Structure 1
Amino acid sequence: MSSSSLSSPTFPIHDFATWEPVLRLLRAANAESLAAPGGYVAGSVAQRGWTLPVRRLPAAGGAAGFAEMQAGMRAAQPVQDALAEAGIDRLLCVADMAPDGRTRLHLLDPGPAVEEGSGPYPGALVMVEGAVAEPWRRLPDSVPGAGPAPSVDLALLERTLRERLPGAVGATGAEIAAAEARLGVTLPDELKVLYGVTQARSAEQDDEELDDEELDDEELDDEDRDGVGHGEHESVSEVLGCELFSLDELYVADAPSRPCSWRFAATTAVVTTPDAAVQGLVGSPGWIAFGDSGYGDVLAIDLTPGPRGHVGQVIVLDHEQYIGAELVADSLTDILTQGFARSFRSRPWDRQPAVARVNVAALKSIRDAVDPALEVLEIGVWDDEPLSLAPLAALPRLRTLTASPDTLADPLETSRLTGLEFLELGARDWRLLLDAGAVPRTLSAAAIRAGDHHPLHIAALANELLALWDRPLITVTLLEGDLGPGEQETGR
């Protein structure tokens, strides 16, 4: 790990004075833990937030609590400003403070190969640049014989739209063709009919058009001005039951459009059951996002349906989920004539046999999890004898293993799992693998369960793993200063 000192700061972020208000606040809030042998405080500060061991919310009805919260915000602001100036999104920080005020502050910059973690600890280590978990690489299966729903009626769709949106101005054929060229996909006929009736122009576009036409303010009273450009957009929302994107806002809801951290992505699996109308994917090159529910959920036309679905069906991508979509209508024609019919079926991902969990409240042995379809095994809280991984050795699809500290009989058995792309272990298990030169080289990402280990110890361990793949390391900058004798400083 690299280090520098206060004597030659590169940015104000590396100036002890920038951190002094935060350090004083931390000392006042953690006097007892700092006074203990080996005591330290740790957390993280980002441009848009911070996680530090101080009270962030006021006590109910207490002015003192509000003062504490305000003190924290004031203390963190110089650091956040300095982060922005240095172009650094987030730093982890670890400080030890002597009773006489002498302070050592370690600033940890996770760098581009480390995802955001919890508090002062690194998140997942990305061993291969640009690598994503298998569900984010999965493409849709072909469904021979899939076609449009019987309810599709282009003439009825257009007639109903024009009746309910009188005076609407649709997009030209050239504008629709330009959208197709931008997306790299041919829009389905129903979507072409929809945009041929209304362009669903955004408020920003309408405001620009008003500026271009140089309408005189005196020629429009307030009521008229509110109606220009916005009335049609609102009517479209009422007719379709969603906020319709403009042609320029259409996008392909593929897997990259739903980014997710490795720690979550690696522990999920995509599964499409034989009776599914929608494929259980993260995203698809055939999901054309065209609207918003008003609550953050995205509406899309599905050109790659499941075994029981229809080409051109309407689906919704839940903003609280990273995987899958739900059927809301067989066609746009159905939406206009019958409305939404969202189906909340049980989600087929994140369950056996693709995903299994062994812990005191779930499966009671590794053998109970063994299945040729197993992709993800999570070993959690365990109060019995440590577990052997031997039963997993022959599984063809196992790609993720996470194990809580002290649950494995022999961590070296991970070397027999030849398809692992993600491995999460406790610090002691990783130490054993590193010392034995047995870290699985098939990994695309890894994670360390920190437990009660010192953040600097975990950072050093992470750097050993990153170095095996020649990835950018976590850098550490040491700042030293003197806060003077301790005193109660919260709320000053």
Structure 2
Amino acid sequence: MVDHQETPAAAIDDFATWGPVLRLLLAEQRQRHADGPVRVVGRIGRGGWSLALKRRMPPPGRAAQVEDMQEEFDAVERVQGALADAGVDDVSFSATIQPNGKTVLRLMGPSPAVQPGLGTPHPGELLFVDGALPEPWRRLPEPAPEAVPAASVDVELLERTLRERLPDAIGATEEEIAAAEARLGIALPDELKTLYRVTRARWEDRVDDYEAAERECEAVGCELFDLDGLYVADASSRPCRWEFAAMEAVDTPPDSMVQGLVGSPGWIAFGDNGGGDRLAVDLTPGPRGHRGQIIMLSHEENAGARLVADSLTDLVLGRLGTDQPGRPDADQPSAVARVNAVSLKSVQAAAHPGLEVLSIGRWDGEPFSLAPVTGLPRLRTLTAYPGTLADPLEIAELTGLEFLELGPEDWRRLLDAGAVPRSLSAAAIDAPRDHDPLPIVAMANEILALWDRPQIIQTVIEGALAPLA
């Protein structure tokens, strides 16, 4: 029996595909609860899974081995194979299992308008507008027409130093450099051209010589990309889920060397520090920066970059800059405000004209009114922990919201009143991890319908598991 839409492939609809996973979850639940119907939930995707299974501890003195979890791996891989065959990335499920083994299994997903939940069977972020990005990811660099290269730029010294350090390197031709510029849609600065004229950094040129690669890294100051690996580190190069990206705010204080951005069409990434952080030539510097300075983009941060050297010449010669990022005025309130038991204690304390993000977390006191932030011109994100809002209908007055995360009860109030803000580009339902996912999916579909977005597919499969001994 199938509800709503058909699933893409028969294998996913086959009860036998899910039997081993359900059997494991049933055995786990029977250890915790008395006889009676058992409800089990979970999520399985092609890249991972979330199942309420207690992992066996290895014997004392031995590390955990694959064999310790082989039964779980085998059960999950059976489902993952069906997902791959169907071209489906991720499916959540809820099953009710009777004592005699009779089972009703409900599959939930996919929908192109819904991201999978993180570590939970509940839906993740709901996407209302195709291609919509949070404001920090739309932010472009401020023009810097007065920015000039640093005085330390010396292409002759740079080339001479590199050729002394890499006498056997094969350099790129002018045609290869021009092809890279055409692909990127941007002219490479002279220092970067000089670098690649000395070495084009292709692995095949080293003839599998790892020591040559190490020498090149030491000579340049980073793991250098070849010309085909160069890329523009604009905002699209730092993808981020809406639920995290919407909580970011970017700013460039007047004394900054580097503009506070997610990415820039003037950041040309050319290397890696060996730990996943990217080095880039910065052609759109901050108010106090230099055109062509070298910056580093951390793989642990969603936005921003820090100064490494004033020029590529300085990087190669080991003259690293002192990273002194611009600091906002200590009296200037933050664009991101967190109201909870350990941070700000009121919405009033968070309110100011520059507020962009308001996050209301766990709170033991009286619920908050949103009246102090009504009418703020830049407020675009609101997240509120369940039970922290005195009147969820006040949200209707926040006409500039792009992202909204609420608990199920608050969403219910908005839906019943027809007060869901239509300015939203994305949203999320903050449900407790142990909450039945079925009503959360139903609510998600109700919200999606307001934007005529694709629903979360729901499929019901009936079968039987052999009763546990």
Shift of 1:347: 8.1
Q: Structure 1 residues 347, 14: CA separation in 2 closer, same or farther (over 3 Å shift)?
A: farther
Alignment of 1:421-436 (within 5 A): 421-436=402-417
Q: Counterpart of 2:29?
A: 30
Q: Counterpart of 2:91?
A: 91
Q: Structure 1 residues 330, 42: CA separation in 2 closer, same or farther (over 3 Å shift)?
A: same
Shift of 1:5: 11
Paired residue for 2:266, among 275, 286, 304? Answer: 286
Q: Counterpart of 2:243?
A: 263
Shift of 1:331: 0.3
Per-residue CA shift, 1:172-212, capped at 9, x if unaligned? 111111110100001111101111111111x2x448xxxxx
Per-residue CA shift, 1:339-375, capped at 9, x if unaligned? 44463759879x9520000001011111100111100
SS at match of 2:74: helix
Q: Structure 1 residues 68, 40: CA separation in 2 closer, same or farther (over 3 Å shift)?
A: farther
Q: Is 1:322 the counterpart of 2:334 in the alignment?
A: no
Q: Distance in 2 between matches of 1:101 and 1:132?
A: 47
TM-score of the superposed pair, with normalisation by structure 2: 0.93
Q: Counterpart of 1:357?
A: 338
SS at match of 2:281: strand
State how many pairs are aligned. 464
Higher mean C-alpha displacement, 60-69 vs 44-53 = 60-69
Q: Structure 1 residues 463, 2: CA separation in 2 closer, same or farther (over 3 Å shift)?
A: farther
Shift of 1:336: 2.0
Q: Distance in 2 between matches of 1:157 and 1:403?
A: 54
Structure 1: stretches of 5+ with no match in the other structure: 208-224, 488-492
Q: Counterpart of 2:389?
A: 408
Q: Distance in 1 between matches of 2:414 and 2:442?
A: 15
Higher mean C-alpha displacement, 299-308 vs 26-35 = 26-35
Shift of 1:25: 0.5
Q: Distance in 1 between matches of 2:454 and 2:392?
A: 26
Q: Which amino acid aligns with 1:49?
A: G
Q: Counterpart of 2:185?
A: 184
Q: Counterpart of 1:149?
A: 150
Q: Which amino acid aligns with 2:278?
A: V
Alignment of 1:246-257 (within 5 A): 246-257=226-237
Q: Structure 1 residues 52, 383: CA separation in 2 closer, same or farther (over 3 Å shift)?
A: same
Q: Is 1:438 the counterpart of 2:419 in the alignment?
A: yes
Q: Counterpart of 1:137?
A: 138
Q: Counterpart of 1:80?
A: 80
Check the 8 A contact 1:140/1:304 in 2, yes or no.
Answer: yes
Check the 8 A contact 1:251/1:290 in 2, yes or no.
Answer: yes
Q: Counterpart of 2:3?
A: 3
Alignment of 1:331-346 (within 5 A): 331-341=311-321, 343=323
SS at match of 1:424: strand
Q: Distance in 2 between matches of 1:419 and 1:36?
A: 51
Per-residue CA shift, 1:372-424, capped at 9, x if unaligned? 11000000011111111011112100000000011111101001111000000
Higher mean C-alpha displacement, 149-158 vs 281-290 = 149-158
Alignment of 1:82-481 (within 5 A): 82-118=82-118, 119-201=120-202, 203=203, 205-206=204-205, 226-227=208-209, 232-341=212-321, 343=323, 352-451=333-432, 452-481=434-463
Shift of 1:154: 1.3
Structure 2: stretches of 5+ with no match in the other structure: none
Per-residue CA shift, 1:92-144, capped at 9, x if unaligned? 01111111111111111131111121311111101111111111111011134
Q: Which amino acid aligns with 1:480?
A: E
Check the 8 A contact 1:302/1:313 in 2, yes or no.
Answer: yes
Q: Distance in 2 between matches of 1:291 and 1:108?
A: 42
Shift of 1:484: 2.3
TM-score of the superposed pair, with normalisation by structure 1: 0.89
Higher mean C-alpha displacement, 109-118 vs 191-200 = 109-118
Shift of 1:158: 1.2
Shift of 1:238: 1.1
Q: Structure 1 residues 39, 311: CA separation in 2 closer, same or farther (over 3 Å shift)?
A: same
Per-residue CA shift, 1:132-163, capped at 9, x if unaligned? 11111110111341111111111111111112
Check the 8 A contact 2:129/2:425 in 1, yes or no.
Answer: yes
Q: Structure 1 residues 35, 122: CA separation in 2 closer, same or farther (over 3 Å shift)?
A: farther
Identity %: 59
Q: Which amino acid aligns with 2:123?
A: P
